[in-house]
A and B are shown apart, each in its own frame.
Chain A
Amino acid sequence: MTESNQNAEVNRTSSNAFGKVMGSRILWPLVSLVVVLVFNAIFIPSFFTIEVRDGAFYGSLIDVVNRGSIGIILALGMTLVIATGGVDLSVGSVMAISGAVAALILTETDLGMWGLLPSVLLVALLAGLMNGVLVAYLQIQPIIATLILMVSGRGIAKFITGEKIITIGDESHNYYFDFIGKGHLFGLPFTVTLFAVLFLLTCLLVRATSLGLFIESVGANETASRASGIADRRIKIAVYIFAAFCAVIAGLIDCSNINAADTMNAGVFTELDAIFAVVVGGTSLTGGRFSLTGSLIGAILLQTLMTTLYTYGVPSDVAPVPKSLVIIAVCLLQSPVFRSKARRLVGRGATA
């Protein structure tokens, strides 16, 4: 059975402590994060300054976790989708729809959060169902199945807002909605609480139950897991709904943060950042074993890089270059082929 096989594999890799550390998939993203932070400590000392303003912490590190929250939340959903061997390209567009629906309900109705939350949850359900059914039942390649919603979703969002930026003005101001993107809890941005709770709940859900193993098993070998009685189609639909759920939360944060639904720009390219975060965090795109902690670190690494580039003042036309260099480095370090070649080179050097 797949499960026992995987357990055996886990036992093998953890046979010695050193191997466990070296083999850990979160080691290299963690090392890269430390490297970027050390770079900052040397060249931008102000990066680590944290002061208290208006009863809340204020500083670059706070910005990283605050602005990174969207990427982190998207990466959580993306991790589970990728673990089943799929990918969800539509999360950016679902973010835009979520923001558009939220802004519309706040500006055009008096329903407030009671109307807003069910509506965006419905958006998540429909979007996730559509992706999931296309992938699980119609057997369409995930990259194509979710591309459909990625392209049409932005059109739907623009249709909802009438191709305009809907600004949530003072007259339709809602305290709770405002709190999502701009509130502070325990001195930290509320977004931090939000992603922390989502992260812990997701970990609990997949690790305290056998759901995580089922997901890994579907990603590792779909036919074998179906033969062993796992409802692989339902698992797939569930992960796409979860990814869409994460996307609408991210959409609410984005919309609340700028007090407007900017459907042209909300969530553009965030699907790619989320995939980056997952891959950098050590989950393979071919499916199977996944690491939520890895994705969390991957997303924080990406945001730290972005904030560093802004703060250090890298000209914007070349800014993507250092970002991709770090990503290539982490991916190379993760690659078993590259590592064994490198080890052999180092070994030869040591014996010579």
Chain B
Amino acid sequence: MSTHSRMTRQWLAVGSMIMLSIIGCSSKSDSSSADGSSGENDKPVIGFVQTGSEGDWRKAHTVSVREAAEAAGYELRFADGQAKQENQIKALSSFVAQGVDGIILAPLVETGWDNVLEKAKKRNIPVLILDRQVDVKDDSLFVTYIGADTYNEGRLAAEWLIEKTGGKAKVVELQGTPGASPTINRYNGFRDVIGEESGIEIIASQSGDFRRSKGKEVMEAFLKKHGDEIDVVYAHNDDMAIGAIQAIEDAGKKPGDDIILVSIDGVRAAFEAMVEGKLNCTVECNPLQGPMAFEAMDKILSGDIGDMPKKQMIKDEVYERENAKEVIDSRKY
């Protein structure tokens, strides 16, 4: 951290204390309404409806879209759904009413988009779906979907594991939040690959809610029950793997050597753990989707959508601890 940001942080801390005392008015100002700053009329205007700000990954995602918009010469109007679909629908309608040139939607959930997308279609505003998918009756309501393939991430983790262990291992699994689509896809993707290998056995599987503290707590319970049996931890995200690393250390074992850990997401903390040798592998779930989205938007707005696929998956990389040191400095999030 630079001294400049240290100063800012200290002021932030002081400021937040003051805010505590005058709390009633602390709701965020940039809520569901789109901040329609007019002006430069020559640039095409794109409305971007984001899910909210759940954490480091989402933050990187937002920054990527903003930077890509600027680089590609677009004016971006940003709306934060604050984890509510209702807000996202309102923001979408408002973008349609403003008559923007295009809309990028990062939906919170899959269903319930038909009506508002029809409004956009009637006004001939192209909609690009980013990150998570939508489930609509009429596929022509959006132009294309761009996102990370969470099912394939599960498969990649399993493939790496088979290669690493020679197809023989006892695995404990730390699942994400029950019912969330990344959880379901990473669960199925992993199983579909190891189903072909008889030597790999999942001896325990529990939800750690994508949280560090829960990952640690569940791993502690696994260690008590299965003890030395555990060869591998498969965590649906990096945070839970980091929690599990601490639990393994508390049990007097060496994470990364005594027990192999593989997780998904590729956040910076995971790379730090790999450099320390405590995490063996992370499958990237790339949040830097902005450039690809605007490349597609360029084509859409110039009418060049003849050969555009309905689904465009971003390629995810697999990083191992052996090469973590070389790539850690290039990681943006």
Report yes or no: B13 in contact with A307, Cβ–Cβ below 8 A: no
Q: Quick one: CB contact mask for A112-156 with B, threshold 8 Å, 1 for yes?
A: 000000010011001100100000000000000000110010011
Report yes or no: B16 in contact with A310, Cβ–Cβ below 8 A: no
Min distance, Cβ A73 to any Cβ of chain B, angstroms: 15
Report yes or no: B59 in contact with A164, Cβ–Cβ below 8 A: yes
Min distance, Cβ B322 to any Cβ of chain A, angstroms: 22
Q: Quick one: CB contact mask for B162-190 with A, threshold 8 Å, 1 for yes?
A: 00000000000001001100000000000
Report yes or no: A167 in contact with B178, Cβ–Cβ below 8 A: no
Verify if A11 is at the interface (C-beta below 8 Å from B).
Answer: no
Q: Quick one: CB contact mask for A299-325 with B, threshold 8 Å, 1 for yes?
A: 000000011001101011101000000
Verify if B305 is at the interface (C-beta below 8 Å from A).
Answer: no
Report yes or no: B221 in contact with A258, Cβ–Cβ below 8 A: no
Report yes or no: A60 in contact with B26, Cβ–Cβ below 8 A: no
- The stretch of A228-236, A262-270, A328-336 in contact with B is A262-270
Verify if A81 is at the interface (C-beta below 8 Å from B).
Answer: no
Given contacts A109-B10, A149-B23, A310-B218, contact A264 B55 (CB under 8 A): yes
Report yes or no: B1 in contact with A130, Cβ–Cβ below 8 A: no
Among the interface residues A59, A182, A311, which one has the most CB atoms of the partner chain B within 10 A?
A311
Contact partners of B220 in chain A: CB under 8 A: 63, 67
User: B20, B24, B54, B222: which contacts A156 (Cβ < 8 A)?
Assistant: B20
Report yes or no: A156 in contact with B207, Cβ–Cβ below 8 A: no
A158 to B, closest residue via Cβ: B53
Given contacts A149-B23, A164-B59, A310-B222, contact A317 B178 (CB under 8 A): yes
A320 to B, closest residue via Cβ: B178
User: Considering the chains assembled together, what is the distance between the CA atoms of A105 and B14 in angstroms?
Assistant: 11
Contact partners of A158 in chain B: CB under 8 A: 53
Report yes or no: A163 in contact with B216, Cβ–Cβ below 8 A: no
Report yes or no: A265 in contact with B213, Cβ–Cβ below 8 A: yes
A262 to B, closest residue via Cβ: B212
User: Considering the chains assembled together, what is the distance between the CA atoms of A53 and B227 in angstroms?
Assistant: 13
User: Considering the chains assembled together, what is the distance between the CA atoms of A254 and B239 in angstroms?
Assistant: 14
Report yes or no: B211 in contact with A156, Cβ–Cβ below 8 A: no
Q: Quick one: CB contact mask for B43-87 with A, threshold 8 Å, 1 for yes?
A: 000000000011110010000000000000000000000000000
Verify if A260 is at the interface (C-beta below 8 Å from B).
Answer: yes
Report yes or no: B269 in contact with A165, Cβ–Cβ below 8 A: yes
Report yes or no: B221 in contact with A307, Cβ–Cβ below 8 A: yes
Contact partners of B217 in chain A: CB under 8 A: 63, 67, 306, 310
Report yes or no: B26 in contact with A156, Cβ–Cβ below 8 A: yes
Verify if A280 is at the interface (C-beta below 8 Å from B).
Answer: no
Report yes or no: A262 in contact with B206, Cβ–Cβ below 8 A: no
Given contacts A108-B6, A130-B21, A160-B12, contact A165 B55 (CB under 8 A): yes
A126 to B, closest residue via Cβ: B20
Verify if B39 is at the interface (C-beta below 8 Å from A).
Answer: no
Min distance, Cβ A89 to any Cβ of chain B, angstroms: 14
Question: Number of contact residues on B: which range applies?
Answer: 35 or more
Report yes or no: A60 in contact with B224, Cβ–Cβ below 8 A: yes
User: A108, A163, A313, A315: which contacts B1 (Cβ < 8 A)?
Assistant: A108
Verify if A9 is at the interface (C-beta below 8 Å from B).
Answer: no
Verify if A58 is at the interface (C-beta below 8 Å from B).
Answer: yes
Verify if A107 is at the interface (C-beta below 8 Å from B).
Answer: yes
Verify if A46 is at the interface (C-beta below 8 Å from B).
Answer: yes
Q: Quick one: CB contact mask for B7-44 with A, threshold 8 Å, 1 for yes?
A: 00110110011011101101110000000000000000
Contact partners of B21 in chain A: CB under 8 A: 126, 130
Q: Quick one: CB contact mask for A257-282 with B, threshold 8 Å, 1 for yes?
A: 11110101110000000000000000
User: A58, A258, A266: which contacts B251 (Cβ < 8 A)?
Assistant: A58
Contact partners of B214 in chain A: CB under 8 A: 265
Verify if B209 is at the interface (C-beta below 8 Å from A).
Answer: yes
Verify if B306 is at the interface (C-beta below 8 Å from A).
Answer: no
Given contacts A152-B26, A265-B212, contact A44 B225 (CB under 8 A): yes
Min distance, Cβ A171 to any Cβ of chain B, angstroms: 10
Verify if A101 is at the interface (C-beta below 8 Å from B).
Answer: yes
Is chain A's binding surface mostly helix, strand, loop or mixed? helix
Given contacts A258-B212, A310-B206, contact A264 B54 (CB under 8 A): yes
B175 to A, closest residue via Cβ: A316
Verify if B204 is at the interface (C-beta below 8 Å from A).
Answer: yes
B19 to A, closest residue via Cβ: A156
Verify if B289 is at the interface (C-beta below 8 Å from A).
Answer: no
User: B10, B175, B218, B269: which contacts A167 (Cβ < 8 A)?
Assistant: B269
Interface residues in B256-310 by Cβ distance below 8 A to A read 269, 272
Min distance, Cβ A318 to any Cβ of chain B, angstroms: 9
Q: Quick one: CB contact mask for A24-68 with B, threshold 8 Å, 1 for yes?
A: 000000000000000000001011010001100011100100010
Report yes or no: A105 in contact with B13, Cβ–Cβ below 8 A: yes
User: A58, A109, A126, A317: which contacts B17 (Cβ < 8 A)?
Assistant: A126
User: Considering the chains assembled together, what is the distance between the CA atoms of A159 and B251 in angstroms?
Assistant: 35
Verify if A104 is at the interface (C-beta below 8 Å from B).
Answer: yes
A131 to B, closest residue via Cβ: B23
Report yes or no: A258 in contact with B246, Cβ–Cβ below 8 A: yes
Report yes or no: B26 in contact with A265, Cβ–Cβ below 8 A: no
User: B6, B10, B12, B239: which contacts A165 (Cβ < 8 A)?
Assistant: B239
Report yes or no: A122 in contact with B239, Cβ–Cβ below 8 A: no
Report yes or no: B28 in contact with A165, Cβ–Cβ below 8 A: no
Contact partners of A44 in chain B: CB under 8 A: 225
User: A58, A130, A310: which contacts B20 (Cβ < 8 A)?
Assistant: A130
Verify if B243 is at the interface (C-beta below 8 Å from A).
Answer: yes
B13 to A, closest residue via Cβ: A104
- B residues engaging A (CB < 8 A)? 1, 6, 9-10, 12-13, 16-17, 19-21, 23-24, 26-28, 53-56, 59, 175, 178-179, 204-207, 209-214, 216-218, 220-222, 224-225, 239, 242-243, 246, 250-252, 269, 272
Chosen A-B contacts, 9 in total, with CB atoms closer than 8 Å, are: A67-B217, A108-B6, A149-B23, A162-B12, A164-B59, A259-B246, A262-B211, A262-B212, A310-B221
- A residues engaging B (CB < 8 A)? 44, 46-47, 49, 53-54, 58-60, 63, 67, 97, 101, 104-105, 107-109, 119, 122-123, 126-127, 130, 148-149, 152, 155-156, 158-160, 162-165, 167, 169, 182, 254, 257-260, 262, 264-266, 306-307, 310-311, 313, 315-317, 319
Closest 3 CB pairs of A and B: A316-B207, A310-B221, A317-B178
